Structure 1
Amino acid sequence: MNAPIRKCIEIAGAALCCLITSCGNDSVVPSKAAASLPANEGREVWSAEIVISAAASTKELLESVASDFSGGLKTTVRVNPGPSSSLANQIIEGAPADLFLCASREWAEKVKEADVAERSVELLTNTLVMIVPKGNPAGIKRPIDLLSSQVKRIALAGENVPAGKYADQVLAKLQLLESLAADNKIARAQDVRGALSFVERGEAEAGIVYSTDVNVAPNVEVVHEFDSALHDEIVYVLVLLKRGAKNPEAISFFEYLQSDGADELYAKAGFRRVGQGKE
C-alpha cells in the first residue's frame, strides 16, 4: 500500500474513533440536580416532573414558587390542588405524588401512619376570616350577625377539610354553630375555595375562609378576623413522600420551599412561616 493511501486510512480511522467517543457521552443535563449525580446513578428513578398535591388555599402560591424554582431548568412542577383530606386519601391509596402540602397536622399524620412519607416540616400558617360579597348586602359586621334573618346561607368548607374544621371550632366556641345548623344556614363546599366561590357569586351572604384566599377574589371583602385562640393552630405541613425521595428534583424543591427565596413569595401572598408573628 503506497504512503498516500495509508495516510488517508489513518485519518479516516481517527475521525471514526472521535465520532464514536463523542456519541458515548450524554451531554444533555436536564437540571442542576441531575448534573450533580454521579454517572448513571438515579437515572431509572429521576423525573423532570415534580408532582405536589397541595391544599386548595395554596394553589396560586405554589404556582408562583414553582415558577421561581424551575426558571431556566428543564423541570416541570405540577400543582395538584384540592381538599387536604381527599388528597391525603388519594396519596395513601397510591396516587402519584412527590410532595404533599396539607393545611393541618392531622392529614400529615395520616400520611405518615400509612408509611408513605419520608420526612416533613411544619411550613406555613394562616388566619381565619369572615367574608361577605362586595358591598356587604346583608350588613354583616360581627359573627353574631350570622343569626340575622338577612343571612340565608353561610359558606363553609367540608366538615373533614381543615378550613371547615377550623370554622366549626370558631362557631362552636362562639355558641353559634348549633343555631346556624338548626336553621339550615350552613352551605358546605368541597374545599375552602368552593366556600369562597359561593360568597363571590352571591350564593351565600357570608363565608369563613383563610385571609389569603381573599387575594384571588376581588368580589368579596373581609368583615371580621377571628381570634386564633378560637380554633386549633393553622399549620401547613410539607411532606416529602417516599416517591419524591427517589427524585433528586423533588428533594431540591422540598428544600427550596424552606428557603429564604420562598419566604419572600410567602409574605407577598399573605402567608407566614410557622413561628413568625404577624407584622
Structure 2
Amino acid sequence: MRASTGFRRALLRAAVIVLALLPLAAPAADEAPLTVFAAASLKGALDTVASDYAATGRAAPRVAYAATSALARQIEQGAPADVFLSADSAWMDTLQNANLVEPATRHDLLRNTLVLVAPADAGTPAFALGDAGAWTGALAGGRLAVARVDGVPAGRYARAALLHLGVWSTLEESLAQTDDVRQALMFVARGEAPLGIVYRTDALAEPKVRELAAFPAASHAAIVYPVAAVKRSDAHRDTAAFLAYLQGDAAAAVFREAGFDLAR
C-alpha cells in the first residue's frame, strides 16, 4: 500500500512539473518563425548564415528575397517582416523616415563591388569601361542586363557608373532591365545577354559567368547593406538575437567567403 501511495505521489509531482512547463513552451510552439526581408544579392550567403544560426539551438528564420525596392514597399504596406536587410542606404532611410524601423538597431553590415560580367564560355575580352565603342562591339547588337535603374539598388548603381564614365547615352537603349540583380545575372549565365552589370558576390556565386572588370568605386555611391529591426507592436523575441548573430564572427566568415566586405 505504501509503494502504491508513493507511486501516486511521484505521478502527481511529475504532472505538476509538466503543467508548470506548458505555459513556457506554448509561445515557442505558437510563435511564427522570425521573418527576414533581404536583398536578392544576399541569397546563398544569408541562407548559410540562417542555417548556422538555427544550429545554435534557435528556430530557423524565414528569409524572403527580392529587390530591396520591392521589399521596402511591402514593409510600407504592412508586410509582417521582423528584420530588413537592404542593398542600399536610401531605401532604409525611406523606412526610417516613415518610422517603420527601429533606429537604435540600424547599422551598416556589408559592402559590395559593382562588376561587368560576360558568359564564361563566350571569350569576351576585357575592355576599358569608358570606351563607348568597345561597349558597342562587345554587345554586338545584344542587350546589357541590369536590374531596374529606376529603383533597384544594383540598377541605380549601374546607371550612376555609366553616367560617370560617359557611356550612358550609348547604352541606354540597349538595356535589358530586370526586377532584381539575380535575374540580370541569370540572363548572362544563360547566354541571353552578352554583358551584365551585377555585384561581385553574384559573379563569384555563378560559374557560368566571368568578371570582365570592376567599376571604379568613385563612379557610384558606396554599395552598403544596412540592417535594422522592423518596428512592430508584436516584436519577435528572436529579433535581437538574430541581429547580434549577423554581427558576429561566424556570420562574418560566411559573408567574407561569399565575397562581401564587412562594413564594420
TM-score (normalizing by structure 2): 0.88
Match runs of 1:52-201 below 5 Å: 52-118=36-102, 119-143=105-129, 144=131, 145-148=134-137, 150-159=140-149, 160-181=151-172, 184-201=173-190
Aligned length: 257
Instruction: Answer yes or no: is the 8 Å Cα contact 1:156–1:192 preserved in 2.
Output: yes
| Deviation of 1:248 (Å) | 2.2
Q: For residue 260 of structure 2, what is the amino acid of its counterpart? A: F
Question: Is 1:231 aligned to 2:231, yes or no?
Answer: no
Q: For residue 64 of structure 1, what is the amino acid of its counterpart? A: T
Q: For residue 159 of structure 2, what is the amino acid of its counterpart? A: D
Q: For residue 100 of structure 1, what is the amino acid of its counterpart? A: F
Q: Secondary structure at the match of 1:208?
A: strand
Instruction: Answer yes or no: is the 8 Å Cα contact 1:156–1:209 preserved in 2.
Output: yes
Q: Secondary structure at the match of 2:21?
A: coil
Deviations 1:216-251 (A, max 9, x none): 211110111111000001100111112398222121
Q: Secondary structure at the match of 2:106?
A: strand
Q: Please say which structure displays the higher CA radius of gyration.
A: 1
Deviations 1:174-227 (A, max 9, x none): 11111212xx21110111101101111111111111000012211110111111
Instruction: Answer yes or no: is the 8 Å Cα contact 1:55–1:81 preserved in 2.
Output: yes
Q: Secondary structure at the match of 1:246?
A: coil
Unaligned runs of 5+ in 2: none
Instruction: Answer yes or no: is the 8 Å Cα contact 1:151–1:205 preserved in 2.
Output: no
Q: Given the superposition, is the C-alpha separation of residues 137 and 153 from structure 1 closer, same or farther in structure 2, using an over 3 Å criterion?
A: farther
Q: Given the superposition, is the C-alpha separation of residues 44 and 19 from structure 1 closer, same or farther in structure 2, using an over 3 Å criterion?
A: closer
| Deviation of 1:147 (Å) | 2.4
Counterpart in the other structure of 1:203: 192
Instruction: Answer yes or no: is the 8 Å Cα contact 1:245–1:251 preserved in 2.
Output: no
Question: Is 1:269 aligned to 2:253, yes or no?
Answer: no
Q: Secondary structure at the match of 1:115?
A: coil
Q: For residue 223 of structure 1, what is the amino acid of its counterpart? A: L
Query: How far apart are the structure 1 equivalents of 2:62 and 2:13?
Result: 41
Question: Is 1:47 aligned to 2:31, yes or no?
Answer: yes
Q: Given the superposition, is the C-alpha separation of residues 244 and 193 from structure 1 closer, same or farther in structure 2, using an over 3 Å criterion?
A: farther
Instruction: Answer yes or no: is the 8 Å Cα contact 2:188–2:209 preserved in 1.
Output: yes
Higher share of residues assigned helix:
2
Unaligned runs of 5+ in 1: 28-38
Instruction: Answer yes or no: is the 8 Å Cα contact 1:132–1:140 preserved in 2.
Output: no
Counterpart in the other structure of 2:12: 17
Q: Given the superposition, is the C-alpha separation of residues 9 and 60 from structure 1 closer, same or farther in structure 2, using an over 3 Å criterion?
A: closer
TM-score (normalizing by structure 1): 0.84
Q: For residue 103 of structure 1, what is the amino acid of its counterpart? A: A
Instruction: Answer yes or no: is the 8 Å Cα contact 1:116–1:241 preserved in 2.
Output: yes
Query: How far apart are the structure 2 equivalents of 1:167 and 1:59?
Result: 20
Instruction: Answer yes or no: is the 8 Å Cα contact 2:125–2:212 preserved in 1.
Output: no
% identical aligned pairs? 34
Query: How far apart are the structure 1 equivalents of 2:168 and 2:123?
Result: 22
Instruction: Answer yes or no: is the 8 Å Cα contact 2:54–2:61 preserved in 1.
Output: yes
Q: Given the superposition, is the C-alpha separation of residues 241 and 142 from structure 1 closer, same or farther in structure 2, using an over 3 Å criterion?
A: same
